[in-house]
Structure 1
Amino acid sequence: MGSVPAQKTMRAQQYDARDNKLHLNEVPLPSPRDHEILVKIACASLCHSDVMLFEPNDQGLILGKNPVTIGHEATGTVAATGAGEVASRFQEGDAVGFICAIECCFDCYACKNVHNAWCETGKVKMQGFGEDGYFAEYAVIDAREAMVLPESLDPKSSAPLFCAGVTAYHGIADCELRPGAWLAIIGCGGLGHMGIQYAKAMGYNVIGIDITEAAIEEAKNCGADHVFNSLADKEYQKKIIDLTGGGVHAAVNFTASKKSYDDCPAIVKPGEGLIMVVGIPRQPLQFNALDIALGRYRIKGSNNGTCYNMKPAIEFSAKHNIKPHMTAFKLEELPKMIELMNAHKVQGRLGVVFD
């Protein structure tokens, strides 16, 4: 059991619902409980759902503690461990990645097969939202949610794998397509640029769709076979139908745009096409019931992972050398990162790298 650092406080970027702003606060250094590890954060990256805290939304983001340290996507090194058996699997200095559900049982059907959000205890909280997250110098992590990084993954650059990576991997893998199938990735930014890499590694023909030239360029850099700017090219849907011989076998939507979901049915192959829901718009989605009833397309969802499906995604990333494209910032620059994301001026992922 490693010892808790001697310092008593640390810096953390905290969201305060009273003024809807971020504050760089000095807060107490947390101590791990028996089932937890204390992690010195090496890298914490920004996810679109972090930014949703500042927006009105009706999609179920629940803020508990206030103010709360934001961020749910990070990697680091173990600084100390709790006294319990699960925490004893880690040693001081281990490079680790982790995901953010806490206070759930990890053992019920929902925790093992669906998502911890539906744990039968009803007590689950998500770090970065209901409890303190990772834009801080240290964080306590439930040891059941953590894993030692493969040797090829650097904790100073691998944070995006532990939300964006796991989410993108399962968004593609859960389509369950045959190699050689046509797959459209809608939104080629923070999630999509990784989804393209996973899809190519799985042997699919990949079409990248976005509305900014920066994201289109990122899609090309990540190996997309074809790219379309759906805002600039009014014929893009027809071109995709012609290119694929009737439509894609799956359209994976990583965006928070309701319109992009509305446009999905037009590019999927009738009778074979799947619309994979990953990105979460502010407004509820609408699909035509007759289309679904008559089998024009299917709808499926994929989430940001659990401790049970995290490891395959990370090991696949290491094996196929899939890397997040990340621009590094300092902790005090987190407001600038949020501004860039809101302005759609982001290529890849934005992350805070700690010394």
Structure 2
Amino acid sequence: MSGKMRAAQYNTTLNKVEINEIPIPEPGENDILIKNACASLCHSDLMLFWGHTAEKPPMEKVTIGHENAGTVAAIGKNVTGFKVGDPVGCLGCSYACYKCEGCRVHNLHCVEGTGRLHGFTTHGHFAEYSLSDYRNSMVLPAGMDLATTAPLFCAGITAYHSVKKCGLQEGDWIAIIGCGGLGHLAIQYAKALKLRVIGIDISDSQLESAKSLGSDLTFNSASTPGYEKEILSQTGGGVHAAVVLSASNAAYQGAPSVLRVNGILMVIGIPKENLSINALDILLGKYRIMGASSGTPQQMREPIEFSYEHGIKAHMTTFNDIGDIQKIIDLLESGKTAGRFGIVF
């Protein structure tokens, strides 16, 4: 497919995003070319601007974004299981071997070193068309809304894994710390799994959203002195797991105080500063630390189909012009937003 398209690209020299007209990419042998219906911005995309990425983009200008949904426009010669017109989404890492020990954990750990993260080390999805390795992609259930599905391919899958990996039983207590872009999805998954949910945030508006999604209790940790003791009282000793979805160091510092003995601290949010832990607490089993991510292609289908079956959707604010990308970045950086933000093409 020939022609030009508009793309939102990170300029590595200027450390800013810009709108450029670039060629529509040609699919390689393992690629599907996706005509994007929606691309959504993830908080981790902002790490480019902070200089917090493990690797610099290998090109001067890289198209940003790793959350998208759209339809197949063309396929490479090795592609199986996809046809033109299929509704699709994909995970954030393409071109790994998908077979090694590292790939069984996350494709960024591929021992061949070929895994490329969309929006960072290969072009992403904030463009009218984008590429994805077919081994990293899936055909969506018929009838899924593409705009609200786009953020499920990072935020949704990560939120699902963050709750499911805790291994809790029906009726157990889980604290969702940070009820915004990831948190509002985690609350929906936790309720669908029949857990009792406590929403914790510093934004009253996000806590209202948490209530509307079924949170059993909510607490503003900034304006409610002693909220930790109240949680311990209400839950009979503390929550069984606290999932930290906020990118705030303060959120991590407060999380252990609401856990019951040997509870799980689930690490999801990525703060600008490194975390500090009390080694003695871990040694003595006061609480355990785990982490979750969007995972591997083999783990992709379950959360997407679970979302479809339970009617779980991202709360989306969308823009119709890719030129509005800076507005979205500014909104996300403010830390005062709920839900997800995207561009509809």
1:153 counterpart SS class: coil
CA positional deviation for 1:97: 0.8
What's the counterpart of residue 70 of structure 1? 64
- Alignment match, 1:98: 90
User: Secondary structure at 1:346's aligned position in 2?
Assistant: coil
Q: Show structure 1 runs of 5+ residues with no match.
A: none
1:309 aligns with 299
- CA-CA distance at 1:51 after TM superposition: 1.5
Pairing 1:79–2:73 present: yes
CA–CA separation in structure 2 for the residues paired with 1:275 and 1:64: 35
Count of aligned positions:
344
Q: Structure 1 234/56 Cα, relative in aligned 2: closer, same or farther at 3 Å?
A: farther
Q: TM-score, normalised by structure 1?
A: 0.94
In structure 2, list runs of 5 or more residues that go unmatched: none
Distance in 2, matches of 1:54 and 1:172, equals: 29
Contact 1:77 1:155 (8 Å CA) reproduced: no
Q: Secondary structure at the match of 1:123?
A: coil
CA distance in 2, matches of 1:135, 1:98: 14
Cα distance, 1:102 vs structure 2: 1.8
CA contact (8 A) 1:96 1:148 kept: yes
| Structure 2 counterpart SS, 1:304 | coil
Q: CA deviation at 1:62?
A: 4.3
> For the Cα contact (< 8 Å) 1:53–1:61, is it kept in 2?
no
Query: Residue 258 of structure 1: CA displacement?
Result: 1.0
Q: Distance in 2 between matches of 1:90 and 1:156?
A: 20
Q: Is 1:13 aligned to 2:8, yes or no?
A: yes
1:93-147 deviations in Å (ceiling 9; x for gaps): 10001112122100012212x1111111122210111111000000011000111
State the secondary structure of the residue aligned to 2:148.
coil
Give CA-to-partner distance per residue, 1:164-188, whole Å, 9 cap, x none: 0100000000000011000000110
Structure 2 partner of 1:327: 317
> Partner of 2:272 in structure 1?
282
User: C-alpha deviations, 1:63-99, integer Å up to 9, x for none?
Assistant: 3322100000000000001111xx1321111000111
TM-aligned CA deviation for residue 313 of structure 1: 0.6
1:32 equivalent in structure 2: 27
CA distance in 1: counterparts of 2:249 and 2:56, whole angstroms: 21
Mapped partners of 2:215, 2:40: distance in 1: 24
Aligned partner of residue 165 in structure 1, secondary structure? helix
**97-106 or 203-212, which moves further after superposition?**
97-106
Q: Secondary structure at the match of 1:24?
A: strand
Partner of 1:232: helix, strand, or coil?
A: coil
Deviations 1:298-328 (A, max 9, x none): 0001012210101001011011110110011
Conserved? CA contact 1:36–1:82, under 8 Å: yes
1:195 to 186, 189, 192: 186
Tell me, yes or no, if structure 1 residue 318 matches structure 2 residue 317. Answer: no
Q: Which amino acid aligns with 1:285?
A: L
Distance 2:152 2:159 in 1: 9
- Scaled by the length of structure 2, what TM-score is found? 0.97
Structure 1, 345-354 or 134-143: larger mean CA deviation: 345-354
